[in-house]
Amino acid sequence: MESIEKLRTALKLALDKKAENPVIIDLRGLTSLADYFLIVSANSDTHARTIADEIKKKFKEMGILPVNVEGYQQGNWILLDYGDLIVHIFRPEFRELYNLESLWMDAPRLEPGDLLPEEVGA
């Protein structure tokens, strides 16, 4: 599966589980770390784990396993590393504290509504 399709799938799954404030950072050509970061907020640690569980479950059904998962037990910042896609699920206060968006300020952003117009109302 191409990285843009992984991104689209993860975004839809996160939004289906009521993730908030999605930001998509396009890292292609900027780093070998990943092609995309998907950053979303969850309103509790349980909510964060629910979003992560849904993404892991659906990706596993498609034969895609994470390279690494971090922060799941705490639920403040869950990182799902799928190689070309890294999903960050933050509690709002931790998202503000770590502010990944500003660390990658010069990287292009993709609009969620461009990937999933029916989901985001674009």
36-91 per-position pLDDT tens digit: 999 999 999 999 999 999 999 999 999 999 999 999 999 999 999 999 999 999 99
In a domain, 91, yes or no: yes
**pLDDT tens digits, 94-104:** 999 999 999 99
Residue 113 lies in a domain: no
For residues 90-109, one letter each, b for 16 or more C-beta atoms within 10 angstroms of the residue's C-beta and e for the rest, the string is: bbeebbeeeebbeebeebee
Contact, 51 vs 89, CB < 8 A?
Answer: yes
Total Cβ atoms within 10 A of residue 50? 17
Please report, for the domain that includes residue 74, its CATH number. Answer: 3.30.460.10
What pLDDT score was predicted for residue 117?
77
Give the per-residue pLDDT at 122: 40
This prediction has a pTM of 0.94
CA separation for the pair 42, 34 (Å, rounded): 22
Indicate if the pLDDT at residue 121 is higher than 50: no
Q: Evaluate if residue 30 carries a pLDDT over 50.
A: yes
DSSP type of residue 91: -
Q: Kindly state the greatest CA–CA separation across the chain.
A: 35
Give domain status of residue 122, yes or no. Answer: no
Q: How many domains does the chain have?
A: 1
Residue range of the domain that includes 36 = 3-107
Tell me, yes or no, whether 62 lies in a domain. Answer: yes
